[in-house]
Amino acid sequence: MPPTPAGQLAVPTLHRAARIEDAVHQLVERRLRRTGWRTNVVAYTGYGAPGWVRVMCRVLLGRPDTRQRGRLEKVRGWRSFATLPAKHVTVTIEAAGVRHEVRTDRSGFVQTVVKADLAPGWGVVRISVPEAEPVEAPVRILDPEVRFGILSDIDDTVMVTALPRPLLAAWNTFVLDEHARMAVPGMAVLYERLVTAHTGAPVFYLSTGAWNVAPTLTRFLSRHLYPAGPLLLTDWGPTHDRWFRSGREHKRATLERLAREFPRMRWLLVGDDGQHDQEIYREFAAGHPDNVAGVAIRQLSPTEAVLAGTLPTPLDSTVQGPVGQRWLSAPDGAGLWKLMRDNGLV
């Protein structure tokens, strides 16, 4: 059975920060539209199963001669955050010949589930809004027979970012482009070996990063030969009830959603020991033992741990998880691959 489509519920009372943000956006939008700015769609990679697909995109305002038209163009860090969302715009999604209409939220986002009879593998859905050319969003449709998938953190797991130290985080996010970011040694090879060993296995990338940096992350993953897969990011800025979104709650909620959407899938959870991955994965493994094939933790070096704002924590290369799974730990992809072979994960 497909998951229930995500409805857009009205929120009676917004947090003060959200009300201020909305008022500023409304003022700026009126001025930009008078100068000729129009809506455009930035499409993100979606996913689903036969019968349904989760579609993700964002609708923004842009100049008529420089609108992205859905392309993942190169934009230096801070510019990706200098965007204006198009709120409550009607978006038409065409999937497998069937049209669906949804509306963007207050941040210009659409993340919804629509019915679609798409074959397993890679496909596309067509997304359009008034005043802009339609764009195509890639979608990964999981084969119901596939039982193994990879769910990977990004920061300090596949890409060295030195998060969450504030100054370094701001520099990496707002100033650098993907050419200046470093890949974690051996992780791309590890993921490629895993998807080769497990035919049809999907790779999902879960991060507390904002959707604004999705184009940068997509280019980085492609350049360093990571397997293609959906990015599961979060919005940036105030919510209806708080000043800032919780990264940990985003990860917890996403894991729970994937467990509902793919109840027979067993995930290899990959993260690092520099933030909260171990805590979040342990909670998920305890609550969903049948959905966890194993946990792989990339150990930060002492220098990386200090830059990430934490202290290095010794961890045995293999430890028993809360429900019997093996928790594997190594400083790079080559070390994790060896441990996975020794523990029967490949």
Q: Fill in the DSSP letter of residue 269.
A: E
Smallest Cα–Cα separation from 45: which of 205, 153, 187?
Answer: 205
pLDDT in tens, 10-54: 444 555 555 555 555 565 555 655 665 778 899 999 999 999 999
> What's residue 241's pLDDT?
47
pLDDT at 221 > cutoff 50: yes
Q: Contact 161/172 with Cβ under 8 angstroms?
A: yes
- Per-residue pLDDT averaged across 300-329, rounded? 62
The first and second tokens of residue 191, run together, are 């993921």
List the helix and strand counts (H, then E) for the chain: 8, 16
Count of residues making up the chain? 346
> What's residue 211's pLDDT?
87
Q: What's this model's pTM, rounded to 2 decimal places?
A: 0.82
**What domains, with CATH codes, occur in the chain?**
16-26+36-141 (2.60.40), 148-342 (3.40.50.1000)
| 106 band by pLDDT with thresholds 50, 70 and 90 | confident
| 224 band by pLDDT with thresholds 50, 70 and 90 | very high
> What's residue 54's pLDDT?
98
More confidently predicted of 252 and 248 = 252
172-177 LR contacts (CB < 8 Å, sep 24+): 172/77, 173/77, 173/209, 173/213, 174/77, 174/78, 174/81, 175/76, 175/77, 175/78, 176/76, 176/77, 177/74, 177/75, 177/76, 177/77, 177/216
Identify the burial level of 26 via C-beta atoms within 10 angstroms of its C-beta, where 0-12 means exposed, 13-18 middle and 19 or more buried.
exposed
- Per-residue pLDDT averaged across 284-292, rounded? 95
- Percentage with pLDDT > 70 across the chain: 68
| 78 band by pLDDT with thresholds 50, 70 and 90 | very low
